[in-house]
């Protein structure tokens, strides 16, 4: 991976493939500092895997694909231990996480709720 790139929210939804781009590994469904959480893993439908940014070989933004470094495969992702503490807020799974957080505290409309009344959960 290019030294100027890192795991960011822009990678959520990207497909992950082995080096060479032929074998699918899954899809990035969340990111935290220095790592990504992978779901939709072929053969492991209810399991998530983890991917440190050091295992990312190349990011193709035109196709929304992440290729792993040579030698890293599906079993490495599936058996990787979950990071003990991704960061203070946990896994970010949407580019709208900040507005969701602000909406939770009543400072703005949460994602997807712009046309609904803004009520505290106790008032619903």
Q: Is the dihedral of CA 30, 80, 23, 17 positive or negative?
A: positive
DSSP H/E element including 38: strand 35-39
HSE, side-chain direction, 13 A CA sphere, residue 118: 12
User: What local confidence, expressed as pLDDT, does residue 39 receive?
Assistant: 92
User: What local confidence, expressed as pLDDT, does residue 33 receive?
Assistant: 78
In the chain, the N- to C-terminal Cα span, in Å, equals 47
pLDDT tens digits, the chain, 124 residues: what are they?
Answer: 554 456 777 888 899 999 998 899 999 998 887 888 999 999 998 899 999 888 999 999 999 999 999 999 999 999 988 876 655 456 666 655 555 555 555 655 544 445 444 544 554 4
Q: What homologous superfamily does CATH list for 9-112?
A: PRC-barrel domain (2.30.30.240)
For 8, 32, 46, the CA distances from 95, given in Å and listed in that order, are 10, 12, 24
Whether the CB-CB separation of 91 and 80 falls below 8 Å is answered with no
Whether the CB-CB separation of 79 and 29 falls below 8 Å is answered with no
Other Cβ atoms within 10 Å of 37 Cβ, number: 24
> Domain-by-domain residue ranges, the chain?
9-112
User: What local confidence, expressed as pLDDT, does residue 53 receive?
Assistant: 87
């Amino acid at each position: 991976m290019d030294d100027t790139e890192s795991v960011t929210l822009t990678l959520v939804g990207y497909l992950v493939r082995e080096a060479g781009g032929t074998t699918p590994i899954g899809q990035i469904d969340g990111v935290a500092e220095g790592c990504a959480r992978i779901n939709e893993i072929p053969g492991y439908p209810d399991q998530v895997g983890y991917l440190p940014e050091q295992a990312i070989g190349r990011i193709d933004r035109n196709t929304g694909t992440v290729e792993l470094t040579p030698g890293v495969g599906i079993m490495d992702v599936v058996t990787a231990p979950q990071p003990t503490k991704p960061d203070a807020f946990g896994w970010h799974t949407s580019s709208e996480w900040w507005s969701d957080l602000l909406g939770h505290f009543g400072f703005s409309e949460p994602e997807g709720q712009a046309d609904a009344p803004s009520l505290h959960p106790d008032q619903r």
